[in-house]
Amino acid sequence: MLDVVFIMLIFFIVTATFVKEIGLDVNSPDKNQNVKDADKQSIVVRITSRDRIRIRGRDIDVRAVRANIERLHAENPDAPVVVQPHPESKTNTMIQVMDSARQAGVYNVSIAAG
């Protein structure tokens, strides 16, 4: 009886399918990084815990993010876009902001701890 159990165990191990999960590898930055210095030289886009988007202290609708980034990028073409999401904000909002930055022609986009 024991040999049948072992044979069944080996059978299930050999025939089991292992699913490789697909995801996006993200290295989270330290919370100790100083974002205040980058504010002067970067286009900082903050995402609040309620998924509100703020650029330079003003609430911005997600549809207007691209236009605002284009305007700020025209003022300072070398400025990178720094997305600073709150830990409780949705990842979808952060992705929308990053996509808007790319559509605005900015390819130097980074994520800072919120």
24 confidence band (pLDDT: 50, 70, 90): low
Q: Is residue 82 part of a domain?
A: yes
Q: Hey, what amino acid is at 96?
A: Q
Q: Is residue 38 part of a domain?
A: yes
With a cut of 80, say whether residue 107 has pLDDT above it. yes
- Domain carrying residue 60: 24-111
Separation between Cα atoms, residue 79 and residue 114, nearest integer Å = 20
Is position 28 within any domain? yes
Is residue 72 situated within a structural domain?
yes
Whole-number mean pLDDT of the chain? 85
Q: Give the total number of structural domains in the chain.
A: 1
Q: Is residue 10 part of a domain?
A: no
Question: pLDDT tens for residues 8-23?
Answer: 888 888 887 777 777 7
Q: Note the pLDDT of residue 36.
A: 53
Q: Does the residue 13 lie in any domain? A: no
pLDDT tens for each residue of 33-75? 555 554 558 899 999 999 999 999 999 999 999 999 999 999 9
